[in-house]
Amino acid sequence: MRLTILNGSPRGKKSNSAVLLSHFTRGFLESPGNSMETLHLINERPGFEKPKDAFFSAERILLAFPLYVDAMPGSVKEFIEKLEPYKGKRPDLRLMYLVQNGFPETCHNRPVQRYLEKLTRRRGCAYGGSIVKGGCEGLDVQPSFLVEKVFDLFYQIGISYGRTGLLDNDLLARLARPEHLSPENIAQVIPMVNVFLWDSLMDKNGAKDRSFDRPYL
Amino acid sequence: MDILILNGSPSGSRLNGQIAELKSLLEKTAHAVRELTLRDMKYSPCRGCFGCWVKTPGRCIFRDDGDILCSQAIHSDMVILASPLRMGYPSALTKNALDRMIPLIHPYLEGIDNEAHHMKRYDRYPLLGLLLEKEADTDQDDMDIVHEIFRRAAINLRSAMQFVAYTDKPIEEVCNAINHS
């Protein structure tokens, strides 16, 4: 099986999406004969020639991106618009997606997941499913046992996909937890995100005392 | 009301005329209307560096027209995104502008209706409206998806979705929807 990965993270190689993809592909490549290539969309602007070519030649494409204002990053939308002329030309192409968000819960990704499924049908390609996951910002400051669990699930999904060519729905459901947060979770998790992620980043930049600046007033 | 129209359509599109019509109708009903033509502006896509949240709070580290987008939006009572749907979602021109507005909110999360969303940076935010041009194959499903995505985006931008209108209906109806908001 040959898989083409289009990483739509505006952070390119140094992105959380790339880290998550690396665990998926480690599993995928364990099956003999599997191979892959990766393109970082941010480096392909504005023409997107190589990823456009992939839509003609690839067997399977995995488009990955972080959630930006509840949808795809603008730079990914630029690429999607480049695909308008190819509608219906690749009915055999299997398209799947990875959408990760920085909120603690996965539910934020569901509307864009619905969009991607519709987009795939609109292009006339085969929809291979979506890997969706919340809680993906600050992977380096989260407790390591939690992060390892997420990485391991990406690895398991990769192994299973590498063997069967299908995303395993049980693994997808496990990965998506928590889909929602209970009020108790919200009270507990949110202060931790604010302190361990945002305060520490602001401290590093000496910006914490300016955190609530309002430069446009 | 102070209304900002973000024109996310390409040049030569019929939508430009419809935006001009909306603008003049709104001005006749005592609104102050400003329009930013996104295709004539220079702003890079958001790179997700979070500089606007953790280095220079409230301001993007890029020095480009993103500054104009933020300052004009925060000084409005309503922002109308006017865009054609392309591949089932507003134009990349529009989405890149929207992504560059995150300096207006704060990185901290808080619970809103049992979900995590971003905290306010400013005391008040403009309402959000959408004026969309359908594609040849736009169906109810597409419209539902766009509405749901923007309803949620409005929550995260600490705004509220006021209306979604389509250019296949008379522009007067859009104007009426705004006047009743």
Q: Are residues A131 and A28 in the same domain?
A: yes
Prediction ipTM score: 0.97
Confidence of residue A141 (pLDDT cuts 50, 70, 90): confident
The confidence score (pLDDT) of residue A87 equals 86
Query: Can you list the alpha helix ranges (DSSP code H) found in chain B?
Result: 14-28, 51-54, 66-74, 92-99, 140-156, 171-179
Q: Are residues A63 and A156 in the same domain?
A: yes
Interchain contact, B50 vs A201, CB within 8 Å:
yes
Would the pLDDT of A73 be above 90?
yes
Amino acid at A49: E
**Distance between CA atoms of residues A196 and A191, nearest Å:** 8
A181 lies within 8 A of chain B by CB: yes
Q: Are residues A120 and A207 in the same domain?
A: no
Distance between B93 CA and the closest CA of chain A, angstroms: 8
Give mean pLDDT, residues B157-170: 96
Q: Are residues A45 and A23 in the same domain?
A: yes
Q: Are residues A176 and A186 in the same domain?
A: no
B74 lies within 8 A of chain A by CB: yes
Q: Are residues A113 and A45 in the same domain?
A: yes
**Distance between CA atoms of residues B108 and A183, nearest Å:** 17
Compute the mean pLDDT over every residue in chain B, rounded to the nearest whole number.
96
Q: Are residues A57 and A112 in the same domain?
A: yes
Q: What is the CB-side half-sphere exposure of residue B55 using CA atoms within 13 A? A: 8
- For residue A140, with 0-12 CB atoms within 10 Å meaning exposed, 13-18 middle and 19 or more buried, which class applies? exposed
Give mean pLDDT, residues B15-29: 96
Would the pLDDT of A29 be above 90?
yes
The confidence score (pLDDT) of residue A92 equals 94
Nearest CB to A80 within list B55, B87, B156:
B87
Q: How far is CA B5 from the centre of its chain?
A: 8
The confidence score (pLDDT) of residue A16 equals 96
Interchain contact, A71 vs B145, CB within 8 Å:
no
The confidence score (pLDDT) of residue A36 equals 97
- For residue B12, with 0-12 CB atoms within 10 Å meaning exposed, 13-18 middle and 19 or more buried, which class applies? exposed
B49 lies within 8 A of chain A by CB: yes
Q: Are residues A143 and A199 in the same domain?
A: no
Total beta-carbon pairs less than 8 A apart between chain A and chain B: 164
- What CATH number should be reported for the domain holding residue A74? 3.40.50.360
* CA dihedral angle for residue A72, residue A204, residue B43, residue B135, rounded to 10 degrees: 10
Would the pLDDT of A215 be above 80?
yes
Residues of A in contact with B137 (CB under 8 A): 122
CA diameter of chain A: 60
Instruction: Name the residue of chain A whose CA is nearest to B47's CA.
Output: A10
Q: Are residues A63 and A151 in the same domain?
A: yes
B140 CB contacts (<8 Å, ≥6 apart)?
Answer: none
Instruction: Name the residue of chain A whose CA is nearest to B136's CA.
Output: A122
The confidence score (pLDDT) of residue A164 equals 98
How many residues belong to chain A? 217
Cα–Cα nearest to A178, from A114, A121, A106, A95 = A106
Give mean pLDDT, residues B22-48: 96
A115 lies within 8 A of chain B by CB: yes
Pairing verdict, β B78-86 and B89-90: antiparallel
Q: Are residues A106 and A210 in the same domain?
A: no
The confidence score (pLDDT) of residue B177 equals 86
In this predicted model, which residue has the larger pLDDT, B31 or A161?
A: A161
A77 lies within 8 A of chain B by CB: yes
Interchain contact, A193 vs B157, CB within 8 Å:
no
Would the pLDDT of B159 be above 80?
yes
Pick from A9, A13, A14, A75 the residue to mutate for testing the B interface (most B CBs within 10 Å). Answer: A75
B114 lies within 8 A of chain A by CB: yes
A209 lies within 8 A of chain B by CB: no
Confidence of residue B178 (pLDDT cuts 50, 70, 90): confident
The confidence score (pLDDT) of residue A2 equals 97
**Distance between CA atoms of residues A192 and B74, nearest Å:** 29
- For residue B106, with 0-12 CB atoms within 10 Å meaning exposed, 13-18 middle and 19 or more buried, which class applies? buried
A205 lies within 8 A of chain B by CB: yes
- Kindly report, residue by residue over B114-144, the tens digit of the pLDDT: 999 999 999 999 999 999 999 999 999 999 9
Confidence of residue B39 (pLDDT cuts 50, 70, 90): very high
Q: Which domain holds residue A200?
A: 182-217
Q: Are residues A186 and A91 in the same domain?
A: no
Q: Are residues A90 and A162 in the same domain?
A: yes
Q: Which CATH superfamily is domain B2-179 in?
A: Flavodoxin domain (3.40.50.360)
Pairing verdict, β B2-7 and A126-133: unpaired
Would the pLDDT of B181 be above 80?
no
Name residues 135-164 of chain B within 8 A of A (Cβ). 137, 141-142, 145, 148-150, 152-153, 156-157
Would the pLDDT of A25 be above 80?
yes
The confidence score (pLDDT) of residue B49 equals 96
